[in-house]
Chains A and B, each alone.
Chain A
Amino acid sequence: MSAAATAVERATRASRIGAWAGGAVLVGACSVPLWSDSGTMRLLVEFFCFLVMAQMWNLLAGYGGLVSIGQQAYLGLGGYLLFALANHAGVNPFLCVPLAGLFAALVAWPTAKLVFRLRGGYFAIGTWAVAEVFRLLLANVATFGGGSGQSLMAMAAIPRAVREPAAYLLALAAAAGAVAAVYLLLRSRHGLALTAIRDSERASESQGIDVAFTKFWVYLVSAAGFGVVGALYYMNILRISPNAAFDVNWSAYVIFIVVIGGIGTIEGPILGTLLFFALRETLAALGSWYLIALGGIAVVVMLYAPGGLWGALAGRFGLQLFPVGRRLRRRQ
């Protein structure tokens, strides 16, 4: 069999249609500030925030095999960086969004060195302990209002007609950027290494993949994503407090989104986020029963359909909207 007789395919019919549909959705989403009200925009900002977090957590756990329950550490730090720079140093709040990502990655660097000494389940709890440390530390900083937090006064200087569309477009860019980044990353050489690590750490190590280093930069990328979300989210709701910003429920929501949607796929977190918001808008009145239901569904999914909703759909219809693999096809 010669190389000429086969071709490597990296796209599917569904992915070509999906790319056009995705492009259309993106263009449509860009036009939202022109015709929508501020309530809808705020809801969509929140939606994009959860989409970014779901993609970043999925990259970490679904591909890197690093189950973290402490990514809220970077969300909180990103949020607090926005308040520190915008409120106390007069930096433009919108500029703080990318800076928050950078800051989160910088903090994640030494943190990774520390928590990577723990394995598996203990790593998960270790990341949580680190998030608790940041929460308690910031509760002791009087400049940021201590335990009761503070409001984002810097935003008052920017007129509402500028503020809301700008925040919205930033959030949209972050969401589209996160999906595109994960997609391109997984299609690259590094993505292949990451997928190999997901399937078998030991085997990929023997193939010459630097497992420790790969996990390290995945952790950094994920932290940066959560940092950006922290700035975006708190720019949207204008008030931050340690208990809210470092709440473990952030991890709970994101983990449930990814597990129910389908862990280890790019489509899964998107589907999961859509489902999460659809459920939330209909079941919001139920209060904590909503979380009980989500947790229960996640447990059942993990037990009986570990591929999640997207796994079930993809398995049944052979769908792949974001094909990251390589398929060999014999030339006609």
Chain B
Amino acid sequence: MIGWIDTLVQGVLLGGLYAMFAMGLSLIWGVMRLVNIAHGDFILLAAYLALVFGETANLHPLAAAPLVVAAMALLGYWLQRGVINRTLGKGLLPPLLITFGLSVVIQNLLLEIFSADSRALRAERITTGSLQLGDSLAVGWFPLGVFAAAIVLGLALQAVFARSALGRALRATSDDQETVRLVGIDDRRMYALATAIAFALMALAGVFLGMRTSFAPSDGPANLLFAFEAVVIGGLGSFWGTFAGGILLGVAQTVGFRLDPGWGLLVGHFVFLAVLLFRPQGLFPRTR
């Protein structure tokens, strides 16, 4: 019994990380109606950046995190301004195929530079300590911290969107890209800022991923799929829905792994397919 509670708790905490993966994807979709196929590979790129900072400057992953976040935000801004914005208004195909191309390029560049071996961010002490709950149930401090960070970031993001001038401009751009120009908002700059924010979130998620488990260049697509499934399970455009979707996916996977190691990821995918079949609008769709 206590074993199952443990599995459930681990699943919920894993879901916090998936929710962080999903936030960036959801943000870019919400503002631009675009999907970044290279999403998972950029998350992985952030983990490798933290690895490089750790190896060259001997920085702890958490100390390297601000640098990684800044670098990724700049990369996101440049990517949107210099590349993706050029394809705006030309239909669905160009941005999808370009980000797919980038995904393959990043994945194979990482493979060339870091080899196919699994790597991990070394963060002793922080990732090994745990909070004892009763005799046989312990919750790691680190997964708990990631979960809390996901909630705080989610709240912060919501506050930015609901209350700040930037948030208003982003929402207006999302509603009507043409009309915002009339009131003096540079829609292309708004898109670039949205991508920069998304990339900053992805960067932090990447560092957390690297501290939590080992990672390899081929893991990018899996990260994208988990983020996407969290978004669909929760319901498009609903922030807390996405959060709940991440948690549900995390729980489904850990329960699956406990039943049979070969079934872990499958159970997660099945939950996604079941939601798509029975409730295509997601479990917690945004009501207008």
Report if B140 contacts A (CB, 8 A).
no
Contact of B108 among A130, A291, A298, A302 (CB under 8 A): A291
Pairwise interchain contact B105-A292, C-beta atoms closer than 8 A: yes
Binary contact track A97-110/B, C-beta < 8 Å → 1, others 0: 00000000000000
Does the CB pair A133–B273 fall under 8 Å?
A: yes
Judge whether B257 is part of the interface by a CB distance below 8 angstroms: no
Are B225 and A128 in touch, CB under 8 angstroms?
yes
Complex A-B: 22 CB contacts under 8 Å: A114-B276, A118-B232, A125-B224, A126-B228, A126-B232, A128-B221, A129-B269, A129-B273, A132-B269, A136-B262, A136-B269, A140-B263, A248-B221, A249-B104, A252-B100, A255-B97, A263-B93, A288-B112, A289-B112, A292-B105, A295-B104, A302-B101
Q: How large is the interface on B (under 10, 10 to 19, 20 to 34, 35 or more residues)?
A: 35 or more
Q: Name the CB-closest residue of B to A124.
A: B96
Residues of B within 8 Å of A299, CB to CB, are 83, 98, 101-102, 105
CB pair B277 A114 closer than 8 Å: yes
Inside 8 A of A61's CB, which chain B residues have their CB? 93
With contacts A133-B273, A292-B105, A298-B97 taken as known, whether A121 is within 8 angstroms of B37 at the C-beta atoms is yes
Interface 0/1 of B246-277, CB less than 8 Å to A = 00000000000000001101100110110011
**Does A121 contact B34, Cβ atoms closer than 8 Å?**
yes
**B226 — nearest CB in chain A belongs to which residue?**
A129
- Bound CA–CA A120/B232 (angstroms): 13
Roughly how many angstroms separate A305 CA and B188 CA in the complex, as a whole number?
Answer: 22
Least CB distance, B172 to chain A, in whole angstroms = 22
Q: With an 8 A cutoff between CB atoms, is A67 at the interface? A: yes
> What residues of chain A lie closer than 8 Å to B151, measured between beta carbons?
none
- Known contacts A69-B100, A114-B276, A128-B225; decide if A306 and B269 are in contact (CB<8 Å): no
Judged by a CB distance under 8 angstroms, whether A330 is at the interface is no
Nearest residue in B to A258 (C-beta to C-beta)?
B97
The CA-CA distance from A296 to B106 in the complex, in Å, is 10
- State the Cβ distance, A57 to closest chain B Cβ, in Å: 11
Binds A, one of B43-51, B84-92, B173-181: B84-92
Q: Apart from A69-B100, A133-B266, what 19 extra A-B contacts exist at CB < 8 Å?
A: A65-B92, A114-B276, A115-B276, A120-B33, A121-B92, A124-B100, A125-B35, A126-B232, A126-B276, A129-B269, A132-B225, A133-B269, A136-B266, A295-B103, A299-B83, A299-B101, A299-B105, A302-B97, A303-B86
Report the nearest B residue to A130, measured CB to CB. Answer: B273
A122: nearest chain-B partner, CB-CB: B35
Give the shortest distance, in Å, between B283 (CB) and chain A (any CB). 14
Interface 1/0s, chain B 14-42, versus A by CB < 8 A?
00000000000000010001110100000
- A-contacting residues of B (Cβ < 8 Å)? 29, 33-35, 37, 83, 86-87, 90, 92-98, 100-105, 108-109, 111-112, 221, 224-225, 228-229, 231-232, 236, 262-263, 265-266, 269-270, 272-273, 276-277, 280
Q: What's the Cα separation between A296 and B102 when bound, in Å?
A: 7
Chain A residue at smallest Cβ distance from B36: A121
Name the residue on B nearest A62 (C-beta). Answer: B93
Q: A114-B277, A248-B221, A295-B105 are in contact. Are A129 and B229 (CB under 8 A)?
A: yes
How far does the alpha carbon of A296 sit from the alpha carbon of B108 in the complex, in Å?
Answer: 11
Provide the A242-265 mask, 1 if CB < 8 A to any CB of B, else 0.
000000110010011001000100
Q: A121-B92, A136-B265 are in contact. Are A295 and B101 (CB under 8 A)?
A: yes
**Cα–Cα, bound, A130→B98 (Å):** 22
Asked if B266 contacts A67 (CB within 8 A), the reply is: no
**Nearest B residue (CB) for A65:** B92
User: Contact at A292–B112, with CB atoms within 8 Å?
Assistant: yes
A295 CB contact (under 8 Å) in B102, B266, B269:
B102
Q: Is A137 interfacial (CB 8 A cutoff)?
A: yes
Q: Which residues of B contact A139 (CB under 8 A)?
A: 262
A117 touches B228 (CB 8 A): no
Query: For residue B109, which residues in chain A have a CB less than 8 angstroms away from its CB?
Result: 292
Q: What CA separation (Å) do A124 and B100 show in the bound complex? A: 10
- B87 touching A121, Cβ below 8 Å: no
Q: Which residue of B lies closest to A263 (CB)?
A: B93
**Most chain A C-beta atoms within 10 Å of own C-beta, residue among B29, B33, B96, B104:** B104
CB distance from A71 to the nearest CB of B (A): 13
